[in-house]
């Protein structure tokens, strides 16, 4: 018995000025609000590496934060360059797929 296939996007782009749209191989499509993605940044500046506790406070993120750029990271993730200058978070396909539950 083989392991289930991990989620894979077939298209990544902007839904509008602030939000990111991802179409997944399984047919689902999600529009991710930019601020949610920024708050869910998994980098060591935003999440304590040992405890997993969020270090970033919701009030520290501007309401109008938006992606300034999006680049692929290998075959497993994207890196988002944010309008607030933050750019160290790597968003894996699994993390993004799981985030659909918060939409």
* Domains with residue ranges and CATH for the chain: 34-102 (3.30.2020.30)
Using DSSP's 3-state secondary structure scheme, residue 29 falls into: strand
What pLDDT is stored for residue 2 in this prediction? 65
Mean pLDDT of 14-18: 95
32-90: pLDDT as tens digits:
999 999 999 999 999 999 999 999 999 999 999 999 999 999 999 999 999 999 999 99
> 52: phi > 0 → left, psi -120 to 50 → alpha, else beta; which?
left
Question: Residue 3 has what pLDDT?
Answer: 66
Mean of pLDDT values over 9-29: 96
């Amino acid at each position: 018995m083989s392991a289930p296939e991990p989620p894979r996007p077939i298209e990544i782009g902007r839904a509008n000025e602030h939000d990111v749209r991802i179409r997944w191989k399984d047919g689902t499509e999600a529009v991710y609000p930019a601020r949610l993605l920024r708050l869910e940044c998994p980098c060591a500046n935003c999440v304590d590496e040992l405890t997993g506790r969020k270090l970033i406070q919701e009030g520290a993120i501007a309401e109008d934060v938006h992606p300034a750029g999006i680049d692929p990271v290998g075959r497993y993730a994207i890196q988002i360059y944010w309008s607030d200058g933050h750019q160290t978070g790597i968003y894996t396909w699994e993390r993004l797929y799981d985030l659909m539950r918060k939409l």
